[in-house]
A and B are shown apart, each in its own frame.
Chain A
Amino acid sequence: MYANSSRYVGLLFMTPALLFVAVFVLYPLGQLVYTSTTDASLLGGGEFVGLENYAKAFSDKGFWRSLWFTVSYTLYITPVLMGLGFLAALLTTENTRLKQFTRGAIFLPVVIGLATSSFIWLWLFDQQVGLFNRLLVDIGILDKPLVWFRKAELGQLAVIISVTWKIVGFGMILMVAGIQSIGDDLIEAAMIDGASYWQRVRRIILPLAARSILLATLISAIGSMLAFDQFYIMTGGAPRGQTFTSVYWIYQNSFVYFKLGYGSALSLILMVIIMAGAAVQIALTSRKGSS
């Protein structure tokens, strides 16, 4: 009796959240699609122009350059984050006091803001007063302090170093969970069979933690494809717009050049790319739920 009447009671409880999503996610999404077919700008306009914005994106060198730059950034940083994250997970999986402390230290920068960490590293990388530059000279890696943000490749490297510091703990913590869920008995059995540490890592830990590694990789790659803060703060797109990421390019078009119609078209293109990745992520996680 109760279950019958509660069909709509349950829906009632969900209504505020559903309304919120309808008003602030789905409606703007519709607006985004519509605006992308107009020449709207912050200063007015809004004439229907069909697919002109998309055609423009296709022939816009800045768009392609920013997209390629974002993809290359993602391709560089993801293996670094996952590789170091996995090593960090191996190092700290065991629950001794020192290792838990190490895990905490690696995870600490994850809780501070990406913008904040970018400000710290912008200073550390400075050619004149930057202590990271000084450290690299002191330990003999550099002859003299480097100007990091005058060349696109160096700027990208600097961002990769800073973001790796900031976020490596994220992949680590997912993989620690993955590794800890492998039963002790399996690892002990392998040890009794005389498997060396690295053999155990390769034959047991790596395959059994594969799912959490894959998941961490996807989340991390999606995050990198949406990079903005770190480049806005550290490179400012310099030199000559070579370090604009996709989101940064959208920001420039929409909120600096006020070309909202064109910015909307760019947003939609990026969204489709990201949704493909997110769909894979959800498929992967929901499979776990049913098992």
Chain B
Amino acid sequence: MSDIPLERGAIGVSTRRVGTRLPARVIVALICWLVIAIMAWPLVMSFLASFKPEAEVAAVPPDYLPHSFSLQSYLKVYGYQAGLPTYLFNSFMVAFLTIVFCLVLAVPAGYGLARFHVPFKEVLFLVLLASMMIPYQALLTPLFLMFTKLGLTNNHVGLAIIHTILQLPFSVYVMRNAFEGIPRELEEAAIVDGCSPLQILGRIFMPLAMPGMVTVSLFAFIMSWNEFLAALIFMSKETAFTLPVLLTGVIDSFYGSVSWGPLQAGVVVSVIPCIAIYFLLQRYYVSGFLSGAVK
């Protein structure tokens, strides 16, 4: 019963016990499907509820499936306060700037770390990883004072800087590894041909370090898109909200009662880019995730 075949070798060992092996396999498959159902259920329910007409979303007790199709909830979110396009723009803009900042800082830093003898290199590397040890949650108070003076609150650049603080250690780590993985012979050949370090970086390393840059961008996007606490503090004006902050407003804003339908519509809108990117770039995501967690 408990014999679950592990790898190729399992087949040879266990064919003599076909009778006990087959049910175990079926049970494992059933468990897999049950787990898939459990993991998908909340997202599927939220997705379906976002298309329910108002009366159905508010029904007590609720029904699992919608009885009719309606875009009411989406229209309500669309017209909420400054309008969904503004909030989508805010979220995309902050995420885009975060990606740019992370790449501009981490690509050269990773290159320098991977390819040059730098005095006190490992100490400097640790300095770059500092914000991994210092939780950004603790830095928000002084950063808020600083950004208020600089006029960087309710500002895309301001929030993107905070998100870069969060994402920089991972980005530097990934880029350092990416550059270290490129064979030295290529670099030496380029030096012989008379390339400057900057040319080597641009012509040889950047194309080869592309997967690393994709990983950096991918994680910067997902983190920035989803980050909540800093966005809540720094984007307090209703035209500056990012999507997660918008949802806190949506939840109890329509006539003072909880509006679950528009909330689920907002959830669907904020989840779609994450899931789309996850499916498109799964390979980068999982490998980046592993190297990042082990950073």
Chain A residues engaging chain B, CB cutoff 8 angstroms = 2-3, 6-7, 9-14, 16-18, 20-21, 24-29, 31-32, 35, 40, 88, 91-94, 98-99, 101-102, 104-109, 111-117, 119-124, 126, 128-132, 134, 145, 165, 170, 173-174, 177, 184, 187-188, 191-192, 196-198, 200, 215-216, 219, 226, 228-229, 232-233, 247, 250-251, 254-255, 260, 263-264, 267-268, 270-271, 274-275, 278-279, 282, 285, 288
- Find B165's partner among A2, A9, A25, A263 (CB 8 Å cutoff): A25
The segment from B29-37, B79-87, B207-215 found at the interface with A is B29-37
Query: Are B141 and A123 closer than 8 Å at their CB atoms?
Result: no
Alpha-carbon distance between A215 and B289 when the two chains are bound, in angstroms:
13
Chain B nearest Cβ from A82, distance in angstroms: 14
Alpha-carbon distance between A11 and B264 when the two chains are bound, in angstroms:
49
Chain A nearest Cβ from B241, distance in angstroms: 12
Alpha-carbon distance between A165 and B38 when the two chains are bound, in angstroms:
9
Chain B nearest Cβ from A35, distance in angstroms: 6
Chain A CB within 8 A of B18 CB: no
- Find A11's partner among B64, B112, B226 (CB 8 Å cutoff): B112
Alpha-carbon distance between A151 and B104 when the two chains are bound, in angstroms:
48
**Interfacial chain A residues near B270, Cβ < 8 Å:** 112-113, 116
Chain B nearest Cβ from A46, distance in angstroms: 10
A115/B28 contact (C-beta < 8 A), A25-B139, A104-B282, A271-B134 known = no
- Find A120's partner among B43, B112, B118 (CB 8 Å cutoff): B43
Chain A nearest Cβ from B176, distance in angstroms: 10
- Find B116's partner among A7, A104, A264 (CB 8 Å cutoff): A7
Query: Are A134 and B62 closer than 8 Å at their CB atoms?
Result: yes
**Interfacial chain B residues near A165, Cβ < 8 Å:** 38-39, 42
Give B138-151 as 1s and 0s: 1 = Cβ < 8 Å from A's Cβ atoms.
11111111100000
Chain A CB within 8 A of B53 CB: no
| Docked complex: B256-276 residues within 8 A CB-CB of A | 258, 260, 263-264, 266-267, 270-271, 274-275
